[in-house]
Amino acid sequence: MLKKIGLMFTVAAVMIGFTVTNGIAAKFPTKDITLICPWSAGGGTDTIARALVKNAKKYFGVNVNVVNKTGGMGAVGMGSVATARPDGYIVGMITFQLSTFRLMGLADLSYRDYSLIQLVNRSPASMSVDAESRWQTLKQVMDYAKENPGIVTVGHSGAGGGWHLAIASIATVNKVKFNYVPFDGAAPTRTALIGGHIDLATTGIDEVLELYKAGMLRILAVNAFERHPLFPEVPTIAEAGFPNPSPIFDWRGLGAPEGVPEDRMEVLIKGFKQCFEDPEFVKLADQLGLPLVYKDPEGFEEFLAGMEETLEPALESVGLLKPIE
Amino acid sequence: MDFGFLYHAFGTVMLNPMNFFFVFIGLTAGIMVGALPGLTATMGCALLIPFTFGLPPVQGLLMLLGIFCGGIYGGSISAILIRIPGTPSAAATLLDGYPLCQKGMGGKAIGMSTVASFMGGTTGALVMTFLSPQIARVGLRFGPPEFFALAIFGLGMIITISGRSLLKGIISCLFGLLITTIGFDPLSGVPRFTFGSRDLLGGVTFIPALIGLFGYAQVFRNIEKMQIVPAVKAKVENILPTLKEIRSVLKTIFKSALMGTFIGSIPGTGCDIAAFVAYGEAKRTSKHPEKFGTGILEGVAAPEAANNGATGGAMIPMLTLGVPGDAVTAVLLGALTLHGLQPGPLLFRDHLDVIYPIFAGMIMAQFILLIVGLSGAKFFAKTINIDRKILTPIIFFLCVVGSYAMRFSFFDVGVSMIIGIIAYFMEYYEYPASPILLALILGPMAEGNLRRSLIISRGDPLTFFKRPISATFIVMAIIIMITSYYRIKKAMEKEA
């Protein structure tokens, strides 16, 4: 009798075991997902990544953990996502630099190496001057620069970076010669501006939000088609008198290694979209002045293809175009 | 400055036992992270940020501040005991800390480092509390020429840390400067010396290099000496420095603390530079410069007071301008953002309810540091008596983990081993390792700002002398280099 009961229990246990494992095989995810951030902790991309997945458990049922794999202008971290095992448990933040690696001959890596998940934000450049600057409008700066070529110092966050290319393409089109001063990131650029060490700074518009609100600098234009909701007084580049049909944006998005199974991609795409729409994340992005723009995988791919087309002539104009064939 | 409000904020923070608890936890974790080679205060903060999400911003920040202060202090423990700086800022501490330990005074060295850290940290925290906006304005006057001049000023310290042969020190320094040129150059937008390697695009990362220079090199030395040199059984004597000892270094401590706070407060410089400059200055002005490097308490007190002073200093540009003072404050800046607070000029105007508790927490952290440090010193000091056959493999293991953990990269493990092998042979032929480290810290700052200054001045090198701050630093650097050279030379001749 006891033996029989024991047997029944065993059979039952085995059966439960089977059903459970069957369930698991179809279910994704069953363990934590890793989100690789190619930039260091505390930086802009890192902050966004961490804020994005803060409530991930609600939508995925598991945690999404941010791991910083930095170095090589982001190529190390982004490259490690592209070559990771395509089981959906490793995804990564991909950023603007991915659009330039191949064109600048830095690394054979582009958006084509990923199963794209979505675009997260698309930030326009801004041109600002110190609050005490004699220039009130972008036109005054451009006119002065035209008369005095190579005199106006323009700080940006690194050669070949989005903000360098953004201002360089505008300058080239309008036949203006600036004296470019590359800094190591946006923070030292804006500090140099309010310290009076450079005449003009190009940064992401969100990166000067705090200083702008404090009245320490004046933003002359935003390099976009529309005004920015947090900076309603700042004119667009066209309104400032320099129409720009294809402005260069900084962007951040999410990608998985190429070859993640279709059904898992669907889970990732849906889950991250929910994270993206989480009120807490939206609120933080609002505070940061970060223009959130959602694009699904197809739209994202189209956007990235267009970005490369825009960047090619811009890189050529500053002599940094060395594409890997 | 609203003193009533400040007083009130200090009261509420200090009287709430929960706050005390959070600072305590952060500080203890910080000391552990700091003492382990490869795990730095920066990483400790980054790892802890997710755990602060559930806390109110002030308490989360207090915990992170604890890690910051504890981490910078903790680095000195391993520097003193095993000659491996746990954090870059402790690299100057080992110059005298380790010789002290070999004399059997490891416990006392840790005790002195604790007291100096406490005094330095408190000075920095007080300066931050009362003078933040004023100091931030001075920091803004630092443009590329000033940063270049400051870097040259810092590099001038190789004279004092070169040991017996200045020429060999300079060669070490140049070797370090060469390493810093590897990688993508943000000024011209082209990669240098990367040989097509994606991993080298970011250059040789600092922490793996540090582990190679001091960690692996020390492991190799230990292995070499394991059979020949008999182990010294050190007695862990009194840890507490006597009043007389404290009084003899008091002047050095305060001078170093103020210098450290100031250097820390310049955006982009950090605790590591502060420590080296303070060590060099203490040696230069000392009555017995020849004794530095042989194991004297002053040589531990100066860098420790300076690097903990710099913690308070580094907070200043972060809170007032939203510009991180160093790598750790960059992480703290991210943490503030995630808690919905944007550091910048407005934070200082509108969010005194966060700023003042941060001040109070910084000061509280120093007192907890003193208590935790002194009660733990005896325990830490005992590690020195662990058999070298057991300790060396453990250190080796920590080196591998530490170089990997920085960014989860096996490439970095390889880099740090190669640097370790080079460093071992360099030290074997009496080329000092510290100048290499100083070059790694200051090289990028010197190069980038030299080129930036020349771009702005359109190629005119006189720009460095036309601006008062940069001219002052360069002239000071020259004077200090010449006087230290002669003083040290004279002292060494007398000794010989």
- pLDDT beyond 70 at A21: no
The predicted structure's pLDDT at residue B305 = 96
What pLDDT was estimated at residue A19?
A: 47
pLDDT averaged over every residue in chain B: 87
pLDDT at A16: 52
Nearest CA in chain B to A78: B198
Sign of CA dihedral B220, B221, B223, B224: positive
From A131's Cα to the closest Cα of chain B, the distance in A is 14
Contact list, A153 vs chain B (CB under 8 Å):
455-456
Instruction: Give residue-wise pLDDT tens across range B325-372.
Output: 777 888 888 888 878 787 777 887 778 788 888 888 899 999 999 999
pLDDT surpasses 60 at A142: yes
Which of A4-18, A110-124, B360-374 bottoms out in mean pLDDT, i.e. has the lowest? Answer: A4-18
Residue A52 — very low, low, confident or very high, per pLDDT cuts 50/70/90?
A: very high
Q: How high is the pLDDT of residue A1?
A: 52
Q: What band does A73 get if pLDDT is binned at 50, 70 and 90?
A: confident
pLDDT one-digit tens code per residue, B76-90: 999 998 888 888 889
Please write the tens of the pLDDT for every residue from B450-471: 999 999 999 999 999 999 999 9
Give residue A271's pLDDT: 94
Tokens representing A228 are 């920015």
Candidate from A150, A164, A211 with C-beta closest to B344 = A211
Q: Measure the CA angle with vertex B202, ends B198 and B207; round to 5°.
A: 120
Question: Looking at residue B102, what is its pLDDT?
Answer: 85
B160 and B283 Cβ atoms separated by less than 8 Å: yes
- pLDDT for A152: 95
Q: Is A183–B452 a contact, with Cβ atoms under 8 angstroms apart? A: yes
Tell me, what's the pLDDT at A7? 61
Q: What is the pLDDT of residues A159-198, one digit of tens each?
A: 888 899 999 989 988 999 999 999 888 888 988 999 999 9
At B121 the pLDDT is 94
Domains of chain A with bracketed CATH: 31-123+249-317 (3.40.190.150), 125-222 (3.40.190.10)
Span B246-304, pLDDT tens digits: 888 999 999 999 999 999 988 878 888 999 999 998 988 888 888 888 899 999 999 99
pLDDT at A22: 45
Max avg pLDDT among B28-32, B237-241, B386-390: B28-32
Task: Please write the tens of the pLDDT for every residue from B50-71.
Answer: 778 778 888 888 999 999 999 9
Three-class SS of chain A: CHHHHHHHHHHHHHHHHHHHHHHHHHCCCCCCEEEEECCCCCCHHHHHHHHHCCCHHHHHCCCEEEEECCCHHHHHHHHHHHCCCCCCCEEEEEEHHHHCCCCCCCCCCCHHHEEEEEEEEEECEEEEEECCCCCCCHHHHHHHHHHCCCCCEEEECCCCCHHHHHHHHHHHHCCCCCEEEECCCHHHHHHHHHCCCCCEEEEEHHHHHHHHHCCCEEEEEECCCCCECCECCCCECCCCCCCCCCCCCEEEEEEEECCCCHHHHHHHHHHHHHHHHCHHHHHHHHHHCCCEEEECHHHHHHHHHHHHHHHHHHHHHCCCCCCCC
Q: How many pairs of residues across A and B have Cβ atoms under 8 Å apart?
A: 157
B456 in A contact zone (CB under 8 Å): yes
Q: Which domain holds residue B380?
A: 3-495
Structural domain total, chain B? 1
pLDDT for residue B308: 94
Q: What is the pLDDT of residues B370-418, one digit of tens each?
A: 999 998 888 887 777 788 888 889 889 988 988 888 777 889 999 999 9
Q: Which chain B residue's Cα is nearest to A162? A: B189
Is residue A315 within 8 Å of A321, Cβ to Cβ?
yes
- Express each pLDDT in B199-215 by its tens digit: 888 888 888 898 999 98
pLDDT at B46: 79
Q: Is the pLDDT of residue A147 over 70?
A: yes
Please report, rounded to a whole number, the percentage of residues in chain B having pLDDT higher than 90: 38
| Interface test mutation site (partner A, options B184, B410, B447, max chain A beta carbons within 10 A) | B184
User: Average pLDDT, whole number, for chain A?
Assistant: 88
Question: Is pLDDT at A23 greater than 50 in this prediction?
Answer: no
Minimal-distance CA residue of chain A relative to B269: A188
pLDDT score, position B237 = 66
pLDDT tens, residue by residue, A287-304: 888 889 999 999 999 999
Name residue, tokens 């370790």: B420
CA distance A11 to chain B (A): 44
ipTM over 0.85? The verdict is no
> Is A232 near chain B, with CB under 8 Å?
no
Between the alpha carbon of residue B334 and those of residues A149, A325, B195, B318, B339, the distances in Å are 39, 39, 34, 11, 9
Q: Which of B323, B324, B455 sits opposite A181 (nearest CB)?
A: B455
